[in-house]
Structure 1
Amino acid sequence: MRHTLPLAPQFYVTAPQPCPYLDGRMERKLFTALQGDNADKLNDSLSQQGFRRSQNVLYRPSCAECSACLSARIDVSAFSPSKSQRRTNNRNADIDRRATSPWATEDQYDLFRTYLDSRHADGGMADMDVFEFAAMIEETPIRSRVIEYTEKDSRKLVGVSLTDVLSDGLSMVYSFYAPDAPQRSLGTYMILDHVRIAREANLPYVYLGYWVQGSQKMGYKSNFSGLEVYLGGSWQKMKDPKNFKPNTHPLSTDPIAEQVANISLPDTRPTR
């Protein structure tokens, strides 16, 4: 018997669990499976509505009493590097970039483990083994690339970004880099380079994941000009991040049924 996927994606909600970014908060996520012939269209549409991809799942925060996690993207046309970012570009002039198909390698995993052990030893990915890492890189039903950064002379791998190519931009799904070269500011450099790639490809946005005010891990994204955040159902230009006050009232989050009802799904009808 042949089984077919449902015509419309089904949405679910995770059980509350401790927030990895803000102490004393509980997180909850709204998610759906990314699968089928129209996976690219669904990923494009939901990315534009604040969702992120993790392998074959699209998710968005849906916390009951907090709205501090906001999807963030850089408007490439409005971006201008700061003096510090220009220095970062200059310091990394000896780095080569190479874009490949989403295929995991031992060198990538070694760098990934070094990065996690140094920066996120207590994070949710700390116990990820080589097989789980390969699944993170390779299990993608959409157009994805692995972008590797290597030193020109030594050919040492110093940075990797798993990047989705959307209809309106690049989405940096997950990035990691050599933690033993802080003077390079490799995390910043890879974002700056993605802005260059998007500009060369005439793509208007670079999606960065979630900006979380008050989180040292996630707050750095507000250092980039041209930043927009998805707030109240639309993308808004980031104003002074110091003045941003997330709404933490227990009635500030719409019920799940209303959230799902307000999600716009792509038209997947075949064209004639």
Structure 2
Amino acid sequence: MRHTLPIAPQFYVTAPQPCPYLEGRMERKLFTALQGENADKLNDSLSQQGFRRSQNVLYRPSCAECSACLSARIDVSEFRPSRSQRRTMNRNEDLDRRATSPWASEEQYELFRTYLDSRHADGGMADMDVFEFAAMIEETPIRSRVVEYADQNGGALVGVSLTDVLADGLSMVYSFYAPDSPKRSMGTYMILDHIKIAQEADLPYVYLGYWVPGSQKMGYKSKFSGLEVYIGGSWQKMKDPGSFNADMHPLSTDPIAEQVANIHLPDTRPTR
């Protein structure tokens, strides 16, 4: 099925497949290609409307009877670390951060495989080989960075985030880390460090991907102050995570044609 706007890009819908977050449900995505000389502008614009990037594709959940998945971001100006988060930052003071161009390495892939085998052995990425991993890291038409975290003592890689630099923030596209150091809370720490990077760069937001009420995998995201979720066509402050639910309803999602018609595209006309 294809739906088009009067001007490019074109939007498509995936076939339904099992939801990775909520058992017994089916997911469907609305997506478009990310390419051409205006890729940065398109990525910026659609990221602000709840889309996420995967290589050269931008996508947003568009499930027929479920609207549980909510795009989430942290308003850096509103963030205040909790006592637990301050302890996490202190526990990881022995790590070095290095930001590089999006280039895959064998060390990254080894850590990625260890992470998947421990945390997501039955997930959609479980069979990803080294070539597919390299494509995930390197196939980006926009400004992206690989942010690595390494132990100062032995130099071992303990965490990696593929991060896009947007006009209004940082988007953590995909992160993975050593699963044998749970006291580090690396998933939380990498978000905390990206908040620090955004503050230093005077960028207002850190985009975290999707938060799903009822999904234990996503529960940690709601523990960050300053969190906003994209719902009903706008970003709203999350005041109480418990006020959201994952109930299904046949009218949860607008028709695809209506969704596409309401997408705002960037002005790509040449300036004089």
Q: Same fold (TM over 0.5)?
A: yes
1:96-107 → structure 2 map (5 Å cutoff):
96-107=96-107
For 1:112 and 1:43, locate their aligned partners in 2 and report how far apart those are by CA, in whole Å. 25
For 2:122 and 2:50, locate their aligned partners in 1 and report how far apart those are by CA, in whole Å. 26
* 3-state secondary structure, aligned to 2:173: strand
Q: Which residue of 2 aligns with 1:229?
A: 229
Q: Does 1:183 align with 2:183?
A: yes
1:127-142 → structure 2 map (5 Å cutoff):
127-142=127-142
For 2:176 and 2:111, locate their aligned partners in 1 and report how far apart those are by CA, in whole Å. 8
For 1:252 and 1:242, locate their aligned partners in 2 and report how far apart those are by CA, in whole Å. 19
1:201-220 → structure 2 map (5 Å cutoff):
201-220=201-220
Q: Does 1:72 align with 2:72?
A: yes
Change (3 A) 1:236 1:247: farther
Q: Which residue of 2 aligns with 1:156?
A: 156
The CA deviation at 1:243 is: 2.0
Q: Which residue of 2 aligns with 1:12?
A: 12
Task: Give structure 1 stretches of 5+ with no counterpart.
Answer: 1-5
Q: Which residue of 1 aligns with 2:3?
A: none
**What does the per-residue CA deviation read over 1:13-69, in whole Å, with 9 as the maximum and x for residues that have no partner?**
001111010011110000000000000000000000000000000000000111110
Q: Does 1:111 align with 2:73?
A: no
Moved more, 171-180 or 244-253: 244-253
Letter in 1 for 2:59: Y
The CA deviation at 1:245 is: 2.5
Moved more, 243-252 or 37-46: 243-252
Q: Which residue of 1 aligns with 2:26?
A: 26
For 2:133 and 2:244, locate their aligned partners in 1 and report how far apart those are by CA, in whole Å. 35
For 1:216 and 1:94, locate their aligned partners in 2 and report how far apart those are by CA, in whole Å. 29
Structure 2 length as normaliser, TM-score?
A: 0.97
Letter in 2 for 1:91: R
% identity of equivalent residues: 86
The CA deviation at 1:220 is: 1.2
* 3-state secondary structure, aligned to 1:258: helix
Q: Is the 8 A contact 2:214 2:246 kept in 1?
A: no
Q: Structure 1 runs of 4+ off > 6 angstroms? A: none
* 3-state secondary structure, aligned to 1:197: helix
Q: Is the 8 A contact 2:95 2:152 kept in 1?
A: yes
Letter in 2 for 1:84: S
**What does the per-residue CA deviation read over 1:189-234, in whole Å, with 9 as the maximum and x for residues that have no partner?**
0000000000000000000000001111112100100000000000
For 2:209 and 2:245, locate their aligned partners in 1 and report how far apart those are by CA, in whole Å. 19
For 1:251 and 1:13, locate their aligned partners in 2 and report how far apart those are by CA, in whole Å. 18
The CA deviation at 1:156 is: 0.4
The CA deviation at 1:94 is: 0.3
Moved more, 189-198 or 7-16: 7-16
Q: Which residue of 2 aligns with 1:146?
A: 146
For 2:28 and 2:252, locate their aligned partners in 1 and report how far apart those are by CA, in whole Å. 14
For 1:246 and 1:180, locate their aligned partners in 2 and report how far apart those are by CA, in whole Å. 32
**What does the per-residue CA deviation read over 1:79-128, in whole Å, with 9 as the maximum and x for residues that have no partner?**
00000000000000000000000000000000000000000000000000
For 2:233 and 2:74, locate their aligned partners in 1 and report how far apart those are by CA, in whole Å. 17
**What does the per-residue CA deviation read over 1:150-203, in whole Å, with 9 as the maximum and x for residues that have no partner?**
001100000000000000000000000000000000100000000000000000
For 1:111 and 1:42, locate their aligned partners in 2 and report how far apart those are by CA, in whole Å. 32
* 3-state secondary structure, aligned to 1:218: helix
Query: RMSD of the alignment, in Å?
Result: 0.9
1:80-99 → structure 2 map (5 Å cutoff):
80-99=80-99
* 3-state secondary structure, aligned to 1:153: coil
The number of aligned residues is: 267
Letter in 2 for 1:180: D
The CA deviation at 1:252 is: 2.3
